[in-house]
Structure 1
Amino acid sequence: MSSVQKYNVQSFPCPPVAERANRRIIIKWHGQLIADVAPGDAYWVLETHHPPTYYIPASQVRMPLSTTPRSTFCEWKGSATYYSLMSPISAADTVSDRIWSYNEPQKGYECIKGYLAFYVGPWECYVDGETARPQPGDYYGGWVTNDIEGVVRGQWGNWDPIPIL
């Protein structure tokens, strides 16, 4: 019987690191494929007390995106640009500010330049075939899978680490 490697978020570094993710990333919405990214084509950003955030090549996204006015700043990665995505079912169903990128990332994060990160939801997100769950609280964009363990920040920003079971 093989055991699954576990990743304890408390052992992730601060400042965070961006590394190639040797994992298959699939994102679907209303049964339509948004992206199917082969192992090694995406990056994951690993940061203390956070599950991985996955960054996929923009060229792998099969639906058109539009930029939104929203912008945020990360002390490590820099200014983020946000996007909207129109539902494949209805033009009236558009989701905004649940996808972001760093188009001019700060030093050390150049590898994710122009790559896209998706919050988990409203679309379905998969890592190596497993359905990902959102990081608690909808503040950060980490993806929780069964191989992630430890105390995760989330519901109240940096104020409330809770264990992921």
Structure 2
Amino acid sequence: MNINKDRLQKARDGWSNRGNKRPPFAIEPEEGQRSVWDFPRPPVIEKVTQPVLVQYQGDTIVDTQNALAVLETASPPTYYIPREDVNLEILVELQGKSSFCEWKGKADYFAIKENQNRPVAWSYANPLQEFADLKDYLAFYPQHLECFVDGNRVKPQPGEFYAGWITPDLTGPFKGESGTGHW
């Protein structure tokens, strides 16, 4: 893949919030909570110690304790599951559908075999160097699946583009809510 390094750097530099100062509109976290406004940019990868479960209409796609989470300013974490912990028999890779993240690289998408009109997951086959740890991992949209962390069903990050998992320990507001497009 040929990457225009100037365009990539411009996209990376375009963010004003970088997790080093919480904006005045951010909700103050209570004890045991974290503010997404304290998450850094560039994003970081965090090992998840709680069990993670992903289901579709009662079928288990993921049941793992080997997840990673990407933490990025203004967004709830996105959970990434090692390919070997994903029931790939339920999924199909969507041909010709991809996107590009200025931090992670080119993403390829997956759908449920019986409903190939809507992507439910994606992966980075060849992530950019800073996110090489995400190679052979899949992330899932909680908008279209039943996703759980430590037994708690997550709420999906608002909007259709983002795929953060909102757990009870997070405070926002979260990117994707109405009026947040400029974040």
TM-score, normalised via structure 2 length? 0.76
Closer, same or farther: CA 157–70 of 1 in aligned 2, 3 Å: farther
5+ long unaligned stretches in structure 1: none
1:33 paired residue number: 60
Measured in 2, the distance between the counterparts of 1:134 and 1:156 equals: 14
Partner of 2:27: none
Instruction: String of CA shifts for 1:95-153, please: whole Å, max 9, x gaps.
Output: 53220001111122111112000000322000100000110112111001111102211
How much does 1:30 deviate?
A: 1.2
Q: Which residue of the partner structure matches residue 81 of structure 2?
A: 56
Instruction: Please point out which of 151, 155, 177 is paired with 1:133.
Output: 155
Q: CA RMSD in A?
A: 2.0
* Moved segments of 4+, more than 6 Å: none
Secondary structure of 2:46's counterpart equals: strand
Structure 1 Cα separation of the partners of residues 137 and 179 of structure 2: 24
Q: For the residues of structure 1 that align with 2:70 and 2:128, how far apart are their CA atoms? A: 14
Map residues 124-163 of structure 1 onto 2, 5 A cutoff.
Answer: 124-155=146-177, 158-159=180-181
**Structure of larger gyration radius:** 2
The answer as to 2:128 corresponding to 1:106 is: yes
The question of whether the paired residues in 1 share the 8 Å contact of 2:120 and 2:145 is answered with no
Residue 104 of structure 2 is aligned with which of 52, 55, 77?
77
Distance 1:4 1:24 in 2: 22
Per the alignment, do residues 78 and 107 of structure 1 end up closer, same or farther by CA in structure 2, a change over 3 Å counting?
same
Q: Structure 2: any 5+ residue segments left out of the alignment?
A: 1-29
Q: Which residue of 2 aligns with 1:45?
A: 70
In structure 2, C-alpha distance between the alignment counterparts of 1:159 and 1:137, rounded to whole Å: 10
> Which structure carries more helix by proportion?
2
CA distance in 1, matches of 2:50, 2:79: 10
Once residues 24 and 80 of structure 1 are traced to their aligned partners in structure 2, the CA distance between those partners, rounded to angstroms, is 25
Residue of structure 1 in register with 2:92 after alignment: 66
TM-score (norm 1): 0.84
